[in-house]
């Protein structure tokens, strides 16, 4: 019996019992579809988070005061005890690292901002002119903070787009004077819409030179320093150089923490990746169940077709012929189920993307392969036993059954 | 050398503690091209004998030589090949595969033998013509009459041009006239040189055979030969 004939024979057998075949294909396809949809959801969530973080800028190292033991990323080590202040002088020193291209100090505090009769609570960010480039923000109006000596407390401010909206409405904002805390500052620019980034909504911030902010809050302290490395690959060595500089400035003791965006991203990536795997694993269980169903259906098929098997043996079929025919049939049913499930899964993922446009719910390639692979493997594995049973049937008894 | 030589065949079925001697000390030889009817009461071992001859069953003792070769010691795959190439079966209940058309049923042995589709096609077309089944080629068994079904089964049994045709009550499920048609068909095949061994309860059909093996309780009671009709 040639392979082509085996295939044709098995196809005829599968299509000869349409209801049985349809049910089995359905069971198998639900399993595969579950894998495809659930991994699309999981991986979509992962990609969503990764994209959100990537929006921060690509090769950043964040320096914060205080030392944490682990160096890993978690909410706990964002708040660190502060043995020594991080100053503007530190920030300037960091620029001497050869692998560092740009740097932005951050001084943060809460204040109120007023224009005309309108008054609002707002978060103040004191920084420098490079911040806008490091974060890759777009300006909606005017320009960002001037590039000048960090010690100069110019009386200028840049507003987030939402803040501008609330204070000025349709009036022009650039050139107007606003009051922030006890100071009067000239608005020189408005940021374009940026949306969320690391919990701070940039659209509601007011930016001013770091010296202005520090004077306003009466502090020498920096909240963070954001450093941009030359390239993604340079992040590791750059971090080393930054640590060396800081150690030199602290008499050999390193009392700052350096967080790379890779570490942050990596953590989320790992958590959500593991979640996706777990979800895929759960979905795969439904495939195993489908596999058991394949086995049962094939066992029933063997019983139903006992007389036919006896006949084939009388016509000179070898045990191998019969085993292969039944195995091929099981494989075909699984394949049909896998393909249907794949299509259903993509349909489901498409539905997810329609329902949640922000979620890039595309099933990852590995999940699609794993789903279809598992379907085929379980189908064939669970088809082996019925096929062997068929091949071992005693032809005389098989023929006497009707 | 006879085509079929059985000597000292024993076939014992064990049912719990009791044993059934379905065949006992059976020795018989059949020449090439003979027309043999196997007759006897129900349970006398006729079907058991036919299954043995067709290599669907193995004896507990004794030897079976087919065309000079001891076939009882062959491996299952070798036996399958002998069945495929040398033996054709015709059954009382036809045993057609219900989902396959008449033509596909006839083609089954050719497919199992791995004969290429083109040759298969011409041979099946010829068989359909020979057995008057051309208009029924693409019908499925449920759409055929009993006589037509048995004709499909006989076409299938002969498509590999076997040396022996084994028929177990081939007319048992057919009415008288249809049964006679089938009998004539088998006899025509025999006339072309194929050995024909038929199990039958029908004395008329048995009477037509030139040799009758009368069985009882697993033994060969009588071996009646008639001179070939002129
Ligand atoms: N698989 C089996 N297990 C046990 N006993 C069996 C088996 N097959 C046949 N027998 C017994 O062997 C004996 C011969 O059976 P066999 O089928 O050869 O009879 P038969 O001559 O063909 O009868 P019938 O004319 O009714 O078809 C019977 O007693 C039967 O019960
Ligand atoms: Mg019988």
What is the residue-wise DSSP string for A148-162?
--TT----EEEE-HH
Q: How far apart are CA A68 and CA B11, in angstroms?
A: 88
Q: Which residue is listed with tokens 């069985």?
A: B215
pLDDT at A102: 92
Average pLDDT over residues B39-55: 95
Cα B178 to chain centroid distance, Å, stands at 18
CA–centroid distance, B35 to ligand 2, in Å, is 19
pLDDT at B230: 46
pLDDT at A263: 74
CA–centroid distance, B168 to ligand 2, in Å, is 7
Q: How far apart are CA A34 and CA A300, in angstroms?
A: 27
Nearest residue (CA) to ligand 1, atom 4: B13
A23 three-state secondary structure: helix
| Chain A environment of B83 (Cβ under 8 Å) | 313-316
The 3-class SS string of A259-294 reads: EEHHHHHHHHHHHHHHHHHHHHHHHHHHHHHHHHHH
Whether residue B56 and residue A402 make contact (CB cut-off 8 A), yes or no, is no
Model confidence pTM above 0.90: no
**Contact (CB, 8 A) for A190 and A141:** yes
pLDDT at A77: 46
- Which of A165, A93, A160 is CA-nearest to residue A132? A160
Of A317, A399, A402, the CB nearest to B80: A317
Q: How far apart are CA A377 and CA B215, in angstroms?
A: 53
Q: What is the pLDDT of residues B155-179, one digit of tens each?
A: 999 999 999 999 999 999 999 999 9
User: What six digits make up the tokens of B148?
Assistant: 């037509």
pLDDT at A294: 80
pLDDT at A200: 65
pLDDT at A402 over 80: no
pLDDT at A74: 47
Q: How far is B50 from chain A (nearest CA, A)?
A: 10
Q: Which atom of ligand 1 is nearest to the CA of B14?
A: 4
**Counting Cβ atoms within 10 Å, is residue A368 exposed (0-12), middle (13-18) or buried (19+)?**
buried
B118 CB less than 6 Å from ligand 1?
A: no
Whether residue B56 and residue A311 make contact (CB cut-off 8 A), yes or no, is no
Q: Specify the pairing of strand B211-216 against strand B35-39.
A: parallel
Cα B169 to chain centroid distance, Å, stands at 9
Q: How far apart are CA A163 and CA A201, in angstroms?
A: 11
User: What six digits make up the tokens of A216?
Assistant: 């306003």
Nearest residue (CA) to ligand 1, atom 17: B47
pLDDT at A125 over 70: yes
Helix B117-130, helix B146-158: angle, nearest 10: 130
| Chain A environment of B77 (Cβ under 8 Å) | 318-320
CA–centroid distance, B147 to ligand 2, in Å, is 20
pLDDT at A279: 82
Q: What is the pLDDT of residues B79-126, one digit of tens each?
A: 999 999 999 999 999 999 999 999 999 999 999 999 999 999 999 999
CA–centroid distance, B145 to ligand 2, in Å, is 23
| Chain A environment of B80 (Cβ under 8 Å) | 313, 316-319
Residues with CB under 5 Å of ion ligand 2 are B 47
pLDDT at A207: 95
Average pLDDT, chain A: 86
**Contact (CB, 8 A) for A187 and A140:** no
Q: Domain map of chain B by residue range?
A: 4-225
B146 CB less than 6 Å from ligand 1?
A: no
Whether residue B99 and residue A9 make contact (CB cut-off 8 A), yes or no, is no
CA–centroid distance, B154 to ligand 1, in Å, is 24
Q: Give the C-alpha distances (Å, rounded to integers) separating A101 from A94, A95, A130, A136.
A: 10, 7, 10, 14
A356 three-state secondary structure: coil
A7–B contact, CB cutoff 8 A: no
Residue A396 CA: which ligand is closest? 1
B47 CB less than 6 Å from ligand 1?
A: yes
More confident residue, B136 or A58: B136
In this structure, what DSSP letter does residue B229 have?
P
pLDDT at A46: 82
Q: How far apart are CA A124 and CA A210, in angstroms?
A: 10
Q: Give the C-alpha distances (Å, rounded to integers) separating A210 from A89, A123, A146, A332, B224.
A: 12, 14, 11, 69, 123
In this structure, what DSSP letter does residue A100 have?
E
Residue B49 CA: which ligand is closest? 1
Q: How far is A294 from chain B (nearest CA, A)?
A: 21
The 3-class SS string of A245-261 reads: HHHHHCCCCCCEEEEEH
Cα A334 to chain centroid distance, Å, stands at 31
Nearest residue (CA) to ligand 1, atom 16: B45
ipTM for the complex shown: 0.93
Q: How far is B112 from chain A (nearest CA, A)?
A: 5
- Which of A275, A341, A281, A340 is CA-nearest to residue A44? A275
Q: CA-nearest residue of chain B to A305?
A: B97
- Which of B126, B170, B153 is CA-nearest to residue B37? B170
Average pLDDT over residues A242-256: 86
Q: How far apart are CA B10 and CA B49, in angstroms?
A: 10
B80 three-state secondary structure: helix
Of B81, B95, B100, the CB nearest to A316: B81
pLDDT at A51 over 80: no
Whether residue B109 and residue A316 make contact (CB cut-off 8 A), yes or no, is yes
- Which of A225, A258, A253, A226 is CA-nearest to residue A241? A258
**Residues whose CB falls within 8 Å of the CB of residue A4, separated by 6 or more in sequence, listed in order:** none
More confident residue, A232 or A178: A178
Alpha-carbon Rg for chain A in angstroms = 33
- Span between the terminal Cα atoms of chain B, in Å: 26
| Chain B environment of A16 (Cβ under 8 Å) | 98-99
- Choosing among 3.40.50.1000, 3.40.50.300, 3.40.50.970, 2.40.50.140, the CATH entry for B4-225 is 3.40.50.300
Q: How far apart are CA B32 and CA A237, in angstroms?
A: 93
Q: Give the C-alpha distances (Å, rounded to integers) separating B5 from B79, B89, B199.
A: 16, 19, 18
CA–centroid distance, A306 to ligand 1, in Å, is 19
pLDDT at A80 over 60: no
| Chain A environment of B114 (Cβ under 8 Å) | 1-2, 5
Q: What is the pLDDT of residues A180-227, one digit of tens each?
A: 999 999 999 999 887 655 556 788 899 999 999 999 999 988 998 999
Q: Which of B26, B43, B169, B200 to mutate to test the pocket of ligand 1 (most atoms within 8 A of CB)?
A: B43
A223–B contact, CB cutoff 8 A: no
Q: Specify the pairing of strand B219-225 against strand B211-216.
A: antiparallel
Q: Which atom of ligand 1 is nearest to the CA of B169?
A: 27
């Amino acid at each position: 019996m040639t392979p082509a004939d085996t295939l044709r024979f098995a196809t005829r057998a599968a299509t000869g019992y349409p209801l049985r075949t349809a049910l089995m294909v359905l069971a198998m396809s639900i399993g595969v579809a579950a894998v495809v949809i659930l991994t699309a959801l999981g991986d979509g969530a992962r990609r969503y988070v990764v994209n959100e973080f990537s929006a921060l800028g690509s090769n950043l190292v964040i320096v914060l005061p205080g030392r944490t033991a682990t160096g890993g990323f978690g909410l706990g080590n964002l708040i660190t005890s502060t043995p020594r202040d991080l100053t503007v002088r530190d920030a300037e020193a960091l620029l001497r690292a050869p692998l560092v291209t740009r740097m932005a100090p951050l001084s943060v505090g809460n204040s109120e901002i007023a224009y005309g009769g309108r008054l609002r609570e707002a978060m103040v960010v004191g920084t420098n002119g490079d911040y806008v480039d490091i974060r890759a923000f777009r300006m909606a109006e005017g320009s960002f903070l001037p590039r000048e000596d960090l010690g100069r407390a110019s009386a200028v401010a840049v507003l987030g787009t939402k803040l501008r909206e609330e204070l000025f409405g349709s009036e022009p904002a650039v050139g107007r004077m606003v009051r922030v805390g006890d100071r009067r500052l000239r608005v020189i620019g408005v940021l374009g819409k940026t949306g969320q980034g690391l919990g701070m909504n940039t659209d509601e911030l007011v930016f001013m030179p770091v010296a202005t902010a520090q004077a306003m809050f009466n502090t020498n302290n920096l909240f963070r320093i954001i450093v941009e490395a030359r390239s993604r690959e340079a992040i590791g060595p750059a971090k080393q150089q930054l640590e060396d500089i800081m150690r030199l400035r602290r008499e050999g003791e390193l009392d700052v923490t350096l967080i790379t965006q890779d570490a942050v991203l990596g953590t989320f990536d790992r958590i959500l990746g593991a979640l996706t795997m777990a979800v895929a694993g759960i979905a795969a269980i439904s495939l195993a169940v489908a596999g058991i169903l394949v086995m049962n259906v094939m066992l029933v098929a063997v019983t139903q077709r006992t007389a036919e098997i006896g006949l084939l043996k009388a016509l000179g079929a070898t045990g191998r012929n019969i085993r292969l025919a039944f195995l091929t049939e099981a494989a075909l049913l699984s394949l049909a189920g896998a393909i249907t499930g794949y299509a259903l899964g993509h349909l489901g993922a498409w539905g997810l993307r329609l329902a949640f446009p922000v979620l890039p719910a595309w099933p990852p390639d590995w999940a699609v392969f794993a789903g279809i692979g598992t379907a085929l493997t379980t189908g064939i594995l669970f088809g082996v036993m019925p096929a062997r049973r068929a091949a071992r049937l005693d032809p005389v008894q098989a023929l006497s059954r009707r | 050398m006879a085509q079929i030589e059985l000597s000292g065949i024993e076939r014992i079925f064990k049912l719990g503690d009791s044993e059934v001697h379905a065949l006992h000390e059976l020795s018989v030889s059949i020449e090439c091209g003979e027309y043999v009817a196997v007759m006897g009461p129900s349970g006398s071992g006729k079907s058991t004998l036919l299954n043995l001859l067709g290599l669907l069953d193995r004896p507990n003792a004794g030897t079976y030589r087919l065309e000079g070769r001891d076939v009882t010691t062959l491996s299952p795959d070798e036996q399958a090949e002998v069945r495929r190439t040398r033996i054709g079966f015709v059954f009382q209940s036809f045993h057609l595969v219900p989902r396959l058309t008449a033509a596909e049923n006839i083609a089954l042995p050719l497919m199992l033998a791995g004969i290429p589709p083109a040759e298969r096609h011409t041979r099946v077309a010829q068989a359909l013509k020979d057995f008057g089944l051309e208009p029924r080629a693409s019908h499925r068994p449920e759409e055929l009459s009993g006589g037509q079904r048995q004709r499909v089964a006989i076409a299938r049994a002969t498509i590999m041009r076997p040396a022996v045709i084994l028929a177990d009550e081939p007319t048992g499920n057919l009415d008288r006239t249809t049964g006679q048609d089938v009998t004539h068909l088998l006899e025509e095949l025999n006339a072309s040189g194929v050995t024909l061994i038929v199990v039958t309860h029908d004395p008329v059909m048995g009477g037509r055979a030139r040799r009758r093996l009368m069985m009882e309780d697993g033994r060969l009671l009588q071996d009646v030969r008639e001179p070939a009709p002129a």
